[in-house]
Each structure stands twice: as C-alpha cells, then as structure tokens.
Structure 1
C-alpha cells in the first residue's frame, strides 16, 4: 500500500531488493497466506495503535513459503540455499509476506513439510504458532477440557487438532454447515456457535471447562463456559470487560501475541513434524495471483471462506 485503506489500497509496487543480514536468511517467496490480521496492516489500524508515523509503502502478510536464496553470516547452519521452507513474518513497513523476497531471522524459518505444496505450507506458520502459544499459555494437563470458539477458522482449527494431540478433551463451536468439518478436525463435542455458546457448553460440562480459546472474539459472552479458576486465552489483545467479576471467579485472562513465538524454532519445527504426521490439517481455500490481492481481501472480509486464501508470488 502507498496509502492505508480498503482492499483497493493493495496494488503492485516496486520495493528495494533486500539481502540477508547477520543471523538472517533471504527467502524467494512462492506463496503468502491472506489472514485477517493483514487487514489491520492494510487499514493502518496497527500503525495507529502503535502511535507511530505511517511507514509507506507498507507490505502486509505474516506467512510465507518459498526457497532460501541467500544465507547471511552467523546463522546456525540449519538452512542452506535451495531449501524449501516456510516462515512467519512480522510485517513492518515494506517488510511483509506479500513480496517476491523477504529477509527473515533464521530462527523464524524451517523446512516446509515434506509432501506439501507451497500454498499449503504457507498456511501453517502464523496460525499454527498462535494456536501452539495459546495451548502453552493454558498449561492444561492431559484429560482437561478446553473449549474453542471459531473452530472452523484457521486458528481455531489448528487449536482443536493440537489440543487433541496434547491429550485434551475438546468442545468446539460450529455453524450447521461446519459441524462435520469441526468433527473431522477432532472435536469431541460440537455445540452451536454464537451467543448461546456458553450455555451449550455448560449443558455438556456442568462444572465448566478448564480452559477457553476464544478465536471467534465472543468476549464476555463466552466466559460463563469456563469453571471458576479456569484460564481464558484471547487474541487481538482482548483482556476482559468486567475485571471485578473475572477476579471474583478467579479466571486467568491471557491475551496471546504470536510475535512472542515468532523466533521459537522448536515450536515451528514441531508444527512441521505434525503436518507431516497428519496431526494438523493444512486447508487452502483458493490460490490466486499476487496481483489479485485486493480481490482476495474482499473475499476474506465477506466471510464464509473455509481454509485460507493464498497469494501465488510466482505469477
């Protein structure tokens, strides 16, 4: 973007070539995933929240797959020119995933899962790491019950699958159209999505669940699903609305930010292994040329897309 705004703000621009600095590798990008967080970059929301002057042109995008084409000094030797990789990107100004090349900390880059194409590989890093971080922050034990809102989405879907792999019991929400999908992902109990979520969970688990991952941003409406003393993990910085009530019930409110795991190489490697083992499902809704990024944003914001829209940077 050369200015912030709606999807129409996205267009092809030339940006300076980058090179891998110390501890970095450069990736020739083949695919970049379109995520809801990209809207915050495109609209200028994150720049306003940070209180920083606009840094333009700005390039959105937090997920890439591609090929390492340059290795900087001081890396750990894991990666070499020619390796097929996936990576998480923390966008800033002209540094984002929607570009033909990007220089990244080597710690944010791991080999792409074997047998997976570029589009599918690009869908895993950001949402997968966010789900992994959420579960790690919950510190639940095997056999505990976790509730998931937004289970048909990418973050929620990965969280359902990773929670099952961790030995948790999962209750998840779904619309009528998504019930079978959410069951296929591994949810033990599926309840209707929406404002009745908490009551539906309590019908199945009268004492409340041990933890909640609120991917659908239900906020206060979802909190009654959680037992007193339980943990609630939120995205996009939500910290609760009624601190007195939350404190009285002993709820632990934990906003998670994927930047905290952006250089967690072991977590990213584990996601790759789980993708290869079939423990997580990489869902691609459609692949479109990068020049059609504006249309991809319109489709995503219209809703109803299951899986991720992916930009093809090779055409």
Structure 2
C-alpha cells in the first residue's frame, strides 16, 4: 500500500510516497481504509530528529512513517468491537505504542482508539478535527475551566488552538486569542472575544487569566506570570530546540509553583472521540482546513506547517 516514508532525519524534503505492506485486522485490531490524515507538530519534530530518543524506539529503524490521526471507513474487524462494524465511517489516532503511521492507505488500530465520525461531515474535513481531543483534555480535564473564567489561547489559529477557541466559547469562558495578523478574523469568527497579533502583542501587554492554553511552547515563564491566583496553565508543546530546559520549567512549576502548570501528551481513546463527535454534531465546534494535499505532496504539507501562519489543519488526502 502507499504510505508517507522517510529514510533519514532531516527537512521536509526527506519525505516521500513509498510502499509498505498492508496491515491486517488481527485479534483486537480494526482495519481502516484511510481517506485523510492531518499533519501535527509532533510529526515535524519526529521527522527532524529532535525527539529521536522516542522515535528511535517506536520506529524501529528506517524507513520511518508519519501521521497520527485519520478519518476513514472500517474494512474489517479482527475481533468483535461493540458499536463498530464494517463500513462504518470513523475517526481516530494511532496509539502511542504503534508510533506514527496514519499517512497511509490503511491502518490497523485497537477499537478503543476509534469512534464513529460525525454524521454528514466529509471525511477529508473530519481529518482536521481529531486534534480537538487534545483541546478537550486540556480545557475540560486538565484546567477544569468554568463559565466566566478568562482563557488565553496561544497559537489560536492552529489545529488545536482553533478548536480550543470554539470550546472555550462553548464552556462559557471569555476567550482571548493570540494568532498571526492575517488570522485574527478567523479566531474572532470562531468565538474569540478578543484577538491580538502575537508579533505586536507580548505578555506584558496582556492582563491576567484564569487559564492559559499554550500550543506554542516558547516564552514559558513569561506566560506563566499572567496567571491569576488559582490560575492554571496547560501546555501541549515545548521548544524542540531546548527540550530539557522546557521540560525542567514545566516540571518545576507543576511540583512547586502556586500557579500550577499541566503538561501532557495526548493518547485519546473512544470516550474523547465520542465527545468530539457530540460537540461537532451539536454545532459547538467545526473543522478548520488550511490546505488539502495529496499524499505525494507530504513534504509540501510538512513544509507549509513549518512555515507558520496556519489556519487550522493541513490535511493529507489519501484516497
């Protein structure tokens, strides 16, 4: 089957469309024909070799695969899976134990990492939303945001940020969004009460917040200082060029700080996807697609995400 591959760490140009064996629906697995996948920041760091201690273990050598989330149709069930059957439209993620690999024609994953996709939503558009499970975990579970609280979203026009703005509105928070100048219209449309250009508005220009959601991973200390008493900061990213410094700051603040910081790496299961489906079908959130790329342009999709200024997700159309 066709899949996105790379034979060495490096820039986006190391990526290419190649061929690998088609997976099978073994016991405890569901075989899904992938219609589309999206590109995530973690994949960029993996491809560049910035987290090779992790990707080296999970990838078991070259060639390596890329892609985390996906949307498609169930082809076969290796074991009975309650609520799922052949032909169902689903979305999901590669489990952490399997590593990357959703940018391919087929994936075989445990049913707990799948859920029915929203009714009526095109599967290519649907592939832009699985990162929304990260936003749900960040705001609902980690920050425990409540109505009336002030929420700051950094990277508000990106894949997670664009969902977080919509969720913040749905949860009744007052949402302040930081994004590039050309994307301020988008984040206001998604529900931000205030939107500022991150290039001209720094931490010193902002007020206090009950919750800060950081999808960028830089200037950690400066944004932590914006927390009001009892405030919570959730970060889902870190500076790939200064990993140890970033993680040490997060750890120290989590353990010792009065303004607590939560860092997590998503590994969503069906409950989160079911909630994402519910929110999408209710109209509370919608996918935001920047560009749809063919699988053969996987390098271009990575290059575009690295360039910044993204509006939602870069999606890879598989078939």
TM-score by length of structure 2 reads 0.87
* Aligned residue runs from structure 1 range 51-130, under 5 A: 52=57, 54-75=60-81, 77-90=82-95, 96-125=101-130, 127-130=131-134
Count residues with an aligned counterpart.
Answer: 304
User: What's 2:230 paired with?
Assistant: 229
Alignment RMSD, CA only?
Answer: 2.4
Distance change in 2, residues 1:285/1:245 (3 Å):
closer
Check conservation: 2:95, 2:113, Cα contact below 8 A: no
Residue 57 of structure 1: how far off its partner (Å)? 2.0
Distance change in 2, residues 1:248/1:7 (3 Å):
closer
Check conservation: 1:130, 1:256, Cα contact below 8 A: no
Distance change in 2, residues 1:245/1:28 (3 Å):
closer
Distance change in 2, residues 1:188/1:230 (3 Å):
same
**Residue 284 of structure 2, aligned match among 279, 284, 298:** 279
Q: Residue deviations 1:123-176, cap 9 Å, x none?
A: 111x20111111110123222222111111111111111122122221221333
User: What's 1:150 paired with?
Assistant: 155
State which drifts further: 241-250 or 18-27. Answer: 241-250
Distance 1:83 1:296 in 2: 28
User: What's 2:136 paired with?
Assistant: 132
Distance 1:95 1:54 in 2: 11
TM-score by length of structure 1 reads 0.88
Check conservation: 1:119, 1:284, Cα contact below 8 A: no
* Aligned residue runs from structure 1 range 1-315, under 5 A: 1-49=6-54, 52=57, 54-75=60-81, 77-90=82-95, 96-125=101-130, 127-135=131-139, 136-194=141-199, 196-202=201-207, 208-218=208-218, 219-236=220-237, 238-239=246-247, 241=249, 250-259=258-267, 262-263=268-269, 265-314=270-319
**Structure 1: unaligned runs, 5 residues or longer:** 203-207
1:241 is paired with a residue of what secondary structure? Answer: helix
Check conservation: 1:197, 1:222, Cα contact below 8 A: no
Residue 12 of structure 1: how far off its partner (Å)? 2.1
Check conservation: 2:253, 2:260, Cα contact below 8 A: no
Distance change in 2, residues 1:116/1:147 (3 Å):
same
Q: Residue deviations 1:257-309, cap 9 Å, x none?
A: 102xx22x122111112112221121112222101111221122122231222
Distance change in 2, residues 1:198/1:82 (3 Å):
same
Distance change in 2, residues 1:209/1:68 (3 Å):
same
Distance 2:151 2:118 in 1: 27
